[in-house]
Amino acid sequence: MTISENKIYPRTGDTQTVYLKNVITSDRIKIGDYTMYNDFVHDPWEFEKNNVLYHYPINGDQLQIGKFCSIACGAKFLFTSANHAMYSLSTYPFPIFFEEWGLDVKEITSAWDNKGDIVIGNDVWIGFEAVILSGVTIGDGAIIGTRAVVTKDVPPYTIAGGVPAKPIRKRFSDDVISELLKLQWWKWSENRIKKNIAAIQSGRIGDLE
């Protein structure tokens, strides 16, 4: 059992920050250990309702977030049902209103383009009110800037920002990124992580034990 296994609040007296996996009820949302969400506007317990949007069961799409991620207040994950079919001559979602137009309810998903799951790696920082769209994968160690709108995949250890979000720069050299992806420190035991916190914070990969 990890420190975060059943604990809701990582910090004594701070009810705005939660270990996210312990307040999730949907089996289509998978959250890794220690990933935390802070919300100073709404109750962070309402993450599923306020932050995971258009996540309808009919599509079967998932939100997957790895370990040790930091998700800032108001970050949104916008799923497939927010889309409208671009190949159609009209963006009006006729299949949703199948009763009105005498359409087959089984065709309701043709009202939108299905982009698929949202997959967030480990140790990802998602900034204040950033929006992640369906079908996007964000690599380990990436940083998503404040109010960015992420429409395309973001490589590991890359800082991305803007509307639409674009890569700004890599956090480290290619050699260091390659080594970090091999090490996958987020899979280490708690004792090994504790032993290496100072080295991790120093930014010197050679100090890791």
Q: Known catalytic residues?
A: 84
Cβ atoms 83, 29 nearer than 8 A: no
Question: How many CB atoms within 10 Å of residue 171?
Answer: 16
C-alpha 33/C-alpha 48 separation (Å) is 17
C-alpha 209/C-alpha 199 separation (Å) is 8
Token pair recorded at residue 97: 């209103």
Assign residue 122 a region (left: φ > 0; alpha: ψ between -120 and 50; beta: otherwise): beta
Question: Measured between alpha carbons, how far is residue 79 from residues 12, 56, 71, 85 in Å?
Answer: 34, 8, 17, 14
